[in-house]
Amino acid sequence: MPRPREEFDDIRDFEFYDPEEVLEPDQLYTVYEIARLLQGVEPDRDLDPGTEDILLNWAIPWMLDHSESFVFAEPAADDEPGYYGLA
């Protein structure tokens, strides 16, 4: 349900980072780690599943929008996530 603007104390510009601003060039990350980094959270921090799902909802479209900036490495096992880094 929409809410009136005046109900909000903090309205900010909608900004996304470029991959080079978030990732280190010599590292590969899981999508979960990238999702955390995009929100300023340490990549190894434990999060509850609901919060992690919300972060992934932001990270995956961001990665698709910047797909030309990424390389992919296969996961070590079928039940593990792949790794992504800067192209």
What pLDDT shows up at residue 12? 86
Residue-wise burial string across 5-20, b where 16 or more C-beta atoms lie within 10 A, e elsewhere: eeeeeeeeeeeeeebe
What pLDDT shows up at residue 16? 81
CA dihedral 21, 26, 32, 36 (to 10 degrees): -40
pLDDT tens-digit profile of 32-64? 999 999 999 999 999 999 999 999 999 999 999
Domain residue ranges of the chain, discontinuous segments joined by +: 19-86
Query: Residue 14: pLDDT band by 50, 70, 90 thresholds?
Result: confident
Residue-wise burial string across 42-69, b where 16 or more C-beta atoms lie within 10 A, e elsewhere: eeeeeeeeeeeeebeeebeeebeebeee
Does the pLDDT value for residue 20 go beyond 90?
Answer: yes
